[in-house]
Amino acid sequence: MYDQEPMIRVGLGFDSHRLVPGRKLLLGGVDVPSPFGEKAHSDGDVLLHALCDAIYGACGRGDIGEHFPDTDPRWKDKPSSHFLLEAGRLAKREGWRLVNVDATILLETPKLSPWKKTIAESIRRILAPVWELGESAVCIKAKTMERCDAVGRSEAIVAHVAVLLESGGS
Ligand SMILES: [Zn+2]
């Protein structure tokens, strides 16, 4: 145990979903045009789910499945922005401020470069009731898997997210 609680905390989030025809491809609350989207109980927003896990992890409060079980009919097709806002509110209640979000999305197609800025802005907007985030505080990166594995065959999408929290409320 430290004499004093640490002033900063890192959090790491991961999520993946199958891609299927006839579903929206939602990333950070943005509906990205695509012939297929995430199969899920909720809206399947893989990036917001990984971001929620990163925030919960940094707070030492488990994962999104513990807070919003996918067996609960209340969360069926629920916008994932709701989950993110709740994760942010919990972190703020516990005295944390979000310093930055760094995310990588793994997706073979469509190309996400035209959407990265819009997705980052959307995340800042969703979290605005909790924290004012500057433009550089949310970074969205995207990579393909060079046609290898399930992501490379466009059967799946993956998101990795790191966050840093610092103590100090708002
Ligand atoms: Zn998910």
In-domain check, residue 114: yes
CATH number, domain of 22, equals 3.30.1330.50
Q: What residue numbers bound the domain in which 35 lies?
A: 8-167
User: What's the 94 CA to ligand 1 centre distance in angstroms?
Assistant: 24
Name the domain count of the chain. 1
Neighbours of 165 (CB within 10 A): 25
Q: What is the distance in A from the centroid of ligand 1 to the CA of 75?
A: 12
**Global model pTM greater than 0.75:** yes
**Domain annotation covers residue 1:** no
Within-domain flag for 2: no
CA of 109 to the centre of ligand 1 (A): 19
pLDDT in tens, the chain (170 residues): 667 777 999 999 999 999 999 999 999 999 999 999 999 988 999 999 999 999 999 999 999 999 999 888 888 878 999 999 999 999 999 999 999 999 999 999 999 999 999 999 999 999 999 999 999 999 999 999 999 999 999 999 999 999 999 998 54
Pair of tokens at residue 153:
């065959």
CA of 49 to the centre of ligand 1 (A): 5
For the chain, how far is it from start to end, CA to CA, in angstroms? Answer: 26
Assess if residue 18 is contained within a domain.
Answer: yes
Within-domain flag for 104: yes
For residue 3, being part of any structural domain is answered with no
Distance (angstroms) between ligand 1 centre and the Cα of 140 equals 17
- Give 72 Cα–ligand 1 centroid separation in angstroms: 15
